[in-house]
Amino acid sequence: MDYHKEHFEDYSLMVYKNEQLIALLPANKKDSKIYSHQGLSYGGVVFIKDIKFKDSLESFKSILEFLKESGYQTLYINPIPHFYNTQISEEIFYLFSILKAKLIQRDTLSVIRYSDGISLSKSRKEGVSRAQKQGLEIKEVAGFDEFWNDLLIPNLKLKHKTKPVHSLQEITKLKSHFPDNIRQFNVYYNNEIVAGTTIFESAGVAHTQYISGNENNNKLGSLDFLHAHLISSVFNEKIFFDFGSSNMNNGLEVNYGLLFWKEGFGARTVSQDFYVIDVKKYELLNTILQ
């Protein structure tokens, strides 16, 4: 997270047992509140692979107790969606129920599970066909300049009056730290960029961090062509392909056009939850183990 550390006041915590690190909470402080790190798409407590329930319980209790003793009242936390876990690990949701954690937001993520098979809708197939007839070309490129400057920044400014979460300098720096995990794919028509997507790749998941195309996207079928290729040929050995969220207004609304497009590749909805916890209730966790 160092690439944008100047934007956050870090308050990440580590939990040790007999001098061994067994859990950590990436976090930041803002307005006297603690957040499961706002500089990450997904947060929550990260446990070592072989942790047992009792140690995960004691780890989370120690985090809440530490926050209370440090003068904080609330912890805002957004656990990592289950399909990113490298093994089954959902004990934290049970602890949330004991703590009476309040669900404050629920987003929708559009996810393909490869074991379900890949099935493109008629509309997506037609887009791929248009692109093939037009002779579009897909390239994986080392840099982000073309995509950021020619497509992503102008489109976000025009359509949403906003900027990419990562500046060009930040994504370039992040790529230098994780050269195998951040990949840029562009689509070209007559040697001119017309579409692209930035992929964040983890062990079992390929995640589309940014997607953008020019005004001729529907006519050319460029984004259909690109993502059909990525799903079926580039990342087909992954377990999941994550298109990310289509939500607006803090999860209360859905960009249906965008969601419909993602579902055309076979993506289905997974929830991403956001909670707030009253840290002084950590004592409720003392009643669990009998």
Could you give the domains of the chain? 7-106+273-287 (3.40.630.30), 119-235 (3.40.630.30)
Report whether pLDDT(223) > 80: yes
Q: What backbone phi and psi angles, to 5 degrees, belong to 166?
A: -105, 130
Q: Which residue has the tokens 């930040």?
A: 170
Tokens of 270: 């997974």
Q: Using 50, 70 and 90 to split pLDDT, how confident is the model at 283? A: very high
From 8, 266, 12, 283, select the one nearest 115 (Cα to Cα): 266
Helix (H) or strand (E) holding 212: strand 205-213
pTM: 0.93
pLDDT at position 271 is: 94
CB 20 within 8 A of CB 6: no
Residues 263, 269: Cα–Cα separation, whole Å: 9
- Name the percent of the chain in helix, strand, coil, to the closest 5: 40, 30, 30
Rounded to 5 degrees, what angle do the CA atoms 51, 54, 56 make? 55
Q: What is the pLDDT of residues 169-184, one digit of tens each?
A: 999 999 999 999 999 9
pLDDT at 281 over 90: yes
DSSP 8-state secondary structure symbol assigned to residue 101: P
Closest CA to 73 of 134, 115, 32: 32
Give the model confidence (pLDDT) of 16-44 as tens digits.
Answer: 999 999 999 999 999 889 999 998 888 89
Distance CA(222)–CA(224), nearest Å, equals 5
For residue range 67-96, list pLDDT tens digits in order: 999 999 999 999 999 999 988 889 999 999
Instruction: Please name the residues in contact with 67: beta carbons below 8 A apart, sequence gap of 6 or more.
Output: 34, 75, 279
**pLDDT value of position 2:** 78
Averaged pLDDT, 101-122: 96
pLDDT on residue 83 = 95
Closest CA to 127 of 13, 202, 217, 207: 217
What is residue 168's predicted lDDT score, i.e. its pLDDT? Answer: 96
pLDDT of residue 56: 97
Output the pLDDT for position 68.
97
The helix/strand count (H/E) of the chain reads as 9, 16
The model's confidence at residue 4, banded by pLDDT at 50, 70 and 90, is confident
Structure tokens at 24: 């950590």
Beta bridge partners of 158: none
Please give the mean pLDDT across all residues of the chain. Answer: 95
According to the model, what pLDDT value does residue 198 have?
Answer: 98
Residue 6 predicted with pLDDT over 90: no
